[in-house]
Chain A
Amino acid sequence: MRRGIREYSLWAIGELLIVAGALIPVLWIISLSLKTPATVADQSFIPQEWSLENYETLFEGGIDDSPFIKPLINSIGIALITTVISIVLAALAAYAIARLDFPGKTLILAGTLAIAIFPQISTVGPLFDMWRTLGLYDTWPGLIIPYLTFSLPLAIYVLVAFFREIPWDLEQAAEVDGATPFQAFRKVIVPLAAPGVFTAAILVFIFAWNDFLFAISLTSSDASRTVPAALAFFTGESQFTEPTGSTAAAAVIVTIPIIVFVLLFQRQIVSGLTSGAVKE
């Protein structure tokens, strides 16, 4: 019993340390975003003077003049489009890989893995030149395409794992029950793979949302610049002030969609959805 308590408290301390390590930077950035420009460098964890000034400056001037609104729209649009296309393509590919035996199957899987581990930085230079020639530089598709290439392998891997968990008998049962292969896929397989689909969707969305490398290299204006890239171009009130406060405020705002996204879908990401389908 005593050993139980000691073990429990050790675990508790360990967990507290990890949670603190993960949360303190977040709290710090929130704290920074709430300070006035004058007190931003006062090094106190709790703001001396509370203000929403930083947030206001972000949205000042409406769509045309604000340094933040356009990038925010770009970020949301590009990340959502990437997620939708990526998940649809990955679901079809993963289904084929999990279910069918076709020549070159292992090659495709190996290929996706190779792309997933390929250093992104080495593609930036060539992409820059190609996009300039093709007119994709500084456009939404110019970012969506590289995001797709790097998020698809990830999504395919996650989904293949989930599809493999689904008993094949279910699909055959659906076919015998009178479903076309596509109906079997849509009415039986997709609902069962939903946790996997949502997991993959979140991963892809976060990847596209967080990307800085492509965003900074392949954009040049607010036409397609996403928030992570736009943050780098924030300026202070004058030439000599750091834009610390507004950067922090922007950072807080871009974190919110991710949290919302995860909270929305976490109910879907429950295991055991397939229990009861077949006898294990």
Chain B
Amino acid sequence: MSEIVLDEVTKRFPDGTEAVKKMSLDIPDGDFVILVGPSGCGKSTALRMIAGLEDVTEGELKIGDRVVNDLAPKDRDIAMVFQNYALYPHMTVRENMAFPLKLAHVDGAEIEKKVNEAAKTLDLTEHLDRKPRALSGGQRQRVAMGRAIVRDPQAFLMDEPLSNLDAKLRVQMRTEVARIQARLGTTTVYVTHDQTEAMTLGDWVAVMRAGVVQQVGRPTELYNHPTNLFVAGFIGSPAMNFAPGTLSGSKVKTPFGELPVPDGVKAGAGEGERDVIVGIRPEHFEYAQLVDSEAREHGATFKAKLDLVESLGAEYYTYFHLEGTRVDSEHLSEVAADAGLGEIPSAKAGDVSMVARLDEMSEIEEGQEVELSLDTRRIHMFDPESGDNLAGTPSGDGAGPGAAKAAEKPVGRSSGEAPAEESSS
């Protein structure tokens, strides 16, 4: 167990493309860090550099006290779980799990003991003498985990380990992974493109885009205080709604009407008018009649015709149109493309439907025009050009996009855990 430090690590492929650009990340000993981002953002490359499967072009990579830039994977004392499990098909489950120990010349009795222990933890004991091809997807995944934990390595690296499982199993294994990591306390770097996994699993989450770390923080911090449009659009499901707005003084004109500017933004607002992109999460809309009087103070109401109502039992997802909500921003189009356009309705070209999560008590029907209320304290404002959150980062450490400063302090530690208390619904 040890910390992993990336200091301005860059990966440039022979054809000149930079998969990872000056990535700095300080992963504290024993923590669970998630690298998340759309496909092609460099998260897997970053992980493979830590594993030693890709060379580091520039920068310094440390595991524990050692600079490992030039060490072969086998000398780094790390274990990796691959997306496709990468089990050795000609070996039984037992042999698969014993393989790393045998290579390390651990003696037979010890191997036997460790393998049995790991098998017990993972509920694989009765499958020890079977070949991987006789196992189900979930069992194979557990064998892959087992092969990693028998080693008691300095760190676990996981490359989308759950993406090949079906939805139900994925949720189960997610809990399992979290439990094992918590029990062993081994530093873990986990790569995923699934923001739900990122939000639920990690102590810390680093959002990446095009090889650059956008923001590092506690999951709730990313959710409530995204540093830019990209993070705002990527984290959260259903995704944040975006609309154009015009900021003047302490008011912002939006398709929802004129809204007061939230506290955090006021300071940086400056003089005169300027265009902004306003973001609001689906759960910060509410069916106007259900809003109590206290919340009404901060609420702004508007009328919307509901195109579609999905009942999830405990709540409704409703989709509606508003005039002039089309937002064109390169920062969002990438998120939209990755999500298959479905998850970010407001970023869809030509279609600017918004999504709201309404209480189950709402009396709504498809096609109805209803009055909705939005919580003006919870709106986010972004610069349309740079995509930066106009409120800056709440923690006040001023870490901008790329989290370049993260290397100077333990990741996210400096930002404190204040945001967690504001955790939304």
Contact = CB atoms under 8 A, between A and B. Distances in A.
B90 interface: yes
B262 interface: no
A259 interface: no
A277 interface: yes
Given A177-B147, A179-B103, A172 B53 contact: yes
Nearest to A169: B86
B131 to A, nearest CB: 6
Interface stretch (A58-66, A73-81, A268-276): A268-276
10 contacts: A170-B88, A172-B86, A175-B72, A175-B73, A176-B53, A176-B80, A183-B103, A274-B89, A276-B134, A278-B86
A192 interface: yes
Interface in A238-280: 272-279
Contacts of A192: 89-90
A106 to B, nearest CB: 17
B74 A276 contact: no
A173 to B, nearest CB: 4
Given A175-B73, A177-B79, A177-B99, A276 B51 contact: no
Interface string B47-82: 000011100000000000000000011100011101
A276 B84 contact: no
Interface size class of A (residues with CB under 8 A): 20 to 34
A178 B154 CA distance: 13
A278 B164 CA distance: 10
Contacts of A187: 99
Interface string B123-165: 0000000011111010010000001000100000100000010
B73 A188 contact: no
Contacts of B332: none
A192 B103 CA distance: 18
A233 B133 CA distance: 55
A191 interface: yes
Contacts of A111: none
Interface string A156-190: 00000000000101101111111110010001100
Contacts of A278: 82, 84-87
A272 B133 CA distance: 9
Given A276-B131, A279-B164, A178 B104 contact: yes
B133 A275 contact: yes
Contacts of B40: none
A276 B135 contact: yes
B80 A173 contact: yes
Interface size class of B (residues with CB under 8 A): 20 to 34
Given A175-B72, A180-B74, A191 B90 contact: yes
A187 B89 CA distance: 12
B400 interface: no
B133 A177 contact: no
Contacts of B51: 172, 176
A183 B99 CA distance: 11
Interface in A42-79: none
Contacts of B100: 177-178
Contacts of A169: 82-84, 86
Given A175-B53, A278-B85, 15 more contacts: A169-B84, A174-B88, A176-B52, A176-B157, A177-B99, A177-B100, A177-B147, A178-B100, A183-B103, A192-B90, A272-B133, A274-B89, A276-B134, A277-B87, A279-B137
A225 to B, nearest CB: 42
Nearest to B147: A177
Contacts of A273: 89-90
Nearest to B80: A176
B86 A175 contact: no
B93 to A, nearest CB: 11
Given A176-B51, A176-B80, A276-B140, A188 B103 contact: no
